A and B are shown apart, each in its own frame.
Chain A
Amino acid sequence: MSAGTQVHANLTEEQVREISEGLDEPDWLLETRLEALEALSGLDMPDVIRTPGRNWTNLHELDFESLVDPLNVAENKDQVGPDEADVLPWSEAVDEHEELLREHFGSVVDPQENYLTALSTALFSTGTVIYVPEGVDAEDVTIRTEQNSRSLFNYTLVVTEESSSVTILERQSTGAEQDEQYYSGIVEVVAGENSSVQYGSLQNLSEEAYNFALKRGDADTYATINWIEVNLGTQLTKSGVSTELNGDSSETQIVGAFYGHNDQHFDLDAKVWHRAEHTTADLVTRGVTDDIARSVYEGVQDVGKDAWDTSSYQRENTLMLSDESEADASPKLIINNHDTEASHSATVGQIDREDLLYMTSRGVDPRAARNMLVEGFFVPVLEEIAVDELRDDLEELVAARLRQRN
Chain B
Amino acid sequence: MSSEQDHLKETDTEARFEFKKEQNAAVKSDKGLTEEIIRMISEDKDEPDWMLERRLRALKQYQNMPMPTDWPGQPDLSELDVQEIVPYIRPDVDKREGVDDWTELPDEIKDTFDKLGIPEAEKNALSGVGAQYESEIVYQNMQEQWEEKGVIFCNMDEAVREHPELVKEYFMTTCVPPSDNKFAALHGAVWSGGSFVYVPEDVTVEMPVQAYFRMNSEGMGQFEHTLIIAEPGSEVHYIEGCSAPKYGTHNLHSGGVEVFVKEDAHVQYSTVQNWSKNTFNLNTKRAIVEENGTMEWVSGSMGSKATMLYPCSILKGRGATDTHITIAFAGKGQNIDTGAKVYHNAPNTKSTIESKSISKDGGRTNYRGLVHIADGAENSSTAVECDALMFDNESTSDTMPYMEIEESKVDVAHEATVGKIGDEDIFYLQSRGLDDDDAKKMIVAGFIEPITEELPIEYAVELNRLIELEMEGSLG
Contact = CB atoms under 8 A, between A and B. Distances in A.
Interface residues of A, number: 38
A329 B416 contact: no
A322 B378 CA distance: 12
Contacts of A318: 405
- Which label, helix, strand, loop or mixed, suits the secondary structure of the B interface? strand
A324 B375 contact: yes
A341 B370 contact: no
Contact of A335 (B398, B401, B408, B414): B398
B408 A323 contact: yes
A344 B416 contact: yes
Interface in B377-405: 378, 388, 390-393, 395-405
Given A49-B402, A339-B393, A350-B408, A331 B416 contact: yes
Contacts of A348: 403, 405, 410, 412
A333 interface: yes
B415 A343 contact: yes
A343 B415 CA distance: 7
Q: Dominant SS at the A interface?
A: strand
A337 B398 CA distance: 11
A330 B388 CA distance: 17
Contacts of A56: 404
B398 A54 contact: no
Contacts of A49: 402
Contact of B409 (A51, A327, A350): A350
What are the nearest 4 A-B pairs in CB distance? A338-B390, A320-B408, A348-B412, A333-B399
B47 interface: no
A329 B409 CA distance: 16
A8 interface: no
Interface of A: 49, 51-52, 54, 56, 305, 318, 320-350
9 contacts: A325-B408, A329-B402, A331-B416, A333-B400, A334-B396, A337-B393, A338-B392, A343-B415, A348-B410
A334 B419 contact: no
Contacts, number: 113
B370 A333 contact: no
A345 B414 contact: yes
A332 B339 CA distance: 13
B73 interface: yes
B114 to A, nearest CB: 32
A54 B404 CA distance: 10
B73 A344 contact: no
Contacts of B414: 329, 331, 344-347
Nearest to B384: A346
Contact of B390 (A52, A320, A324, A335): A335
B65 interface: no
Interface string B359-379: 000000000001010010010
B419 A346 contact: no
B321 to A, nearest CB: 19
Given A327-B403, A331-B414, A346-B413, 13 more contacts: A327-B405, A331-B416, A333-B400, A335-B388, A338-B391, A338-B393, A342-B417, A343-B417, A346-B401, A346-B403, A346-B412, A348-B403, A348-B405
Interface in B30-61: none
B396 A349 contact: no
A318 B404 CA distance: 12
A331 B371 CA distance: 13
B419 A349 contact: no
B462 interface: no
B100 interface: no
